[in-house]
Every structure is written in structure tokens, then in C-alpha cells.
Amino acid sequence: MPCDLIVALDYPTRAAAAPLLRQLRGSLRWVKIGLQLFTAEGPDVVRAVADEGFNVFLDLKLHDIPNTVARAVESLAALPIGMLTLHAAGGREMMAAARTAQAATRPELLLLGVTVLTSLDAAALAEIGVPGTPEAQVARLAGLAAEAGLRGLVCSPLEAAALRAQVPAGMQLVTPGIRPAGEEGGDDQKRVLTPAAAARAGANYIVVGRPILQAKDPAAAARAIRAELA
């Protein structure tokens, strides 16, 4: 199945992200706006990035009581976004409420249930009272997300193949934790794969940050990853 690239705009301000966006225009379709940039700039940064021709993945990982998350989804659905995240750990009722709100306001918006963060391993899960492996917790939360009607999941690429055998065929899998071959570590992600390996495992989208943001030629780095995916 085809797999596309999403570049994470991990910048503190819109002005800081602007040079990269200029370089990437025409090299890819999707960019991710996360908590840092959104809390600094608010909804206007989403509109500005969309106006430059990019599809926006808004990664806010909503997690609250069902009614609060549903109302947040309604508010955010007014923005020009194609994907929005919420924590699957919020439970089936919360995800179902979000899905109902999304379907009523923006039917085409893809809600993504975040399973287990790529920064967490078994030891970190044990510290917060979750027994077993990350793979087991991902499978458990993915099942709840599917039952709640979500059409997409965020997981590490290491779990993508197993999820493909578990979730409905149309479920979209978005995988952070991507490190191109030859890239050094140095970040806080613990469960990682290369772009090509993630695509083979069944990812529909991969999210890449620092390997592109810190490249001497970000546009060339993005094109190289897309070529690898193809």
C-alpha cells in the first residue's frame, strides 16, 4: 500500500518554521503541527500553513472527559486540518464521543487514536502501572479505538505489522519513530524503524522531524525519504 511522508514542524514559533516551509514547498504534501507551535501561535498558524498549500496534521493528543474532548473536536474541526490526534488511553467512551462530534462537523477529518508514545518502553509503562509490553498495550488500545469508530491510529512502526492483522482493513496507520538508515540517535524515541521498513510493515504515513529539520538541505532530505517510500 502507498505510504506518504509527514514532516513535523517542531519549532517554537511560526517565524522559525517559515524558512523550512519555503524550502519544502513542492517536496511534500503533509506537515505536522504539534503542541509547541500550536500553543505559541494558536489557530492562526494552522490557517497560515494551510494557505501555503500544505495538508495539516494537528497533533494535540486530546485527553479529557468525553464531553470536553467532543467539544474540542468540534472547535478544532473548523480549522483547515486533515488529521487530529487524541489519546486512546482516554477510553472507548471518550473516543466514541470525539468520533460522533467529528462526524457531525467534519466527516472527512481523520481522527487518530494515539496508542503508546514512541518514547515509552516496557519499563516506562510499568512505572505508570501498565503491565506487559508496549506491543500488548498498543493492541489493547487499538482494539478500543476500532470499537469506538476511529479510522486511524498512531503507533510505533514496530507495531504496524501486528496491527495490520488486527484492525479493519481501512484503518490508517501513522508512525512516528522514523530514523533514516545511517542516522544517529540522540532523541527520546526508543521504538524506531527506517522509512522503508515502516512502509513494508503497513504504515500509511510516517512522521519525520529532526532528520529533515536538521539536514543541510531539508528539501533534498524529504525527497530522498519519499523516494525510499516509493
Predicted pLDDT of residue 192: 67
pLDDT-based confidence at 187, cuts 50/70/90?
A: low
Instruction: Confirm if 212 and 218 have CB atoms less than 8 A apart.
Output: yes
| Among 61, 69, 3, residue whose Cα is nearest residue 230 | 3
| Residue 68: all three cell numbers together | 470536553
Q: Residue 6: enclosing H or E segment and its boundaries?
A: strand 4-8
pLDDT digits (tens, 9 = 90+) for 208-226: 999 999 999 999 999 999 9
* Whether pLDDT at 34 is above 60: yes
Instruction: Confirm if 84 and 60 have CB atoms less than 8 A apart.
Output: yes
For residues 94 and 92, what is the distance between their CA atoms, to the nearest angstrom?
5
Predicted pLDDT of residue 98: 98
| Residue 143: all three cell numbers together | 482494539
Could you list the beta-strand ranges (E) of 22-93.
30-33, 55-62, 83-87
**First CA to last CA across the chain, in angstroms?**
10
Q: What percent of the chain has pLDDT over 90?
A: 84
Report the CATH superfamily, name and number, of domain 4-229.
Aldolase class I (3.20.20.70)
pLDDT digits (tens, 9 = 90+) for 104-139: 999 999 999 999 998 889 999 999 999 999 999 999
Sign of the dihedral defined by the CA atoms of residues 218, 200, 189, 94, in that order: positive
Residue 32 a catalytic site member: no
Catalytic residue among 32, 61, 190, 216: 61
| Residue 200: all three cell numbers together | 513494508
Phi-psi region of 74 (alpha: psi -120 to 50; beta: other; left: phi over 0): alpha
User: In the chain, where are the structural domains located?
Assistant: 4-229
Cell 517559515 -> residue: 18
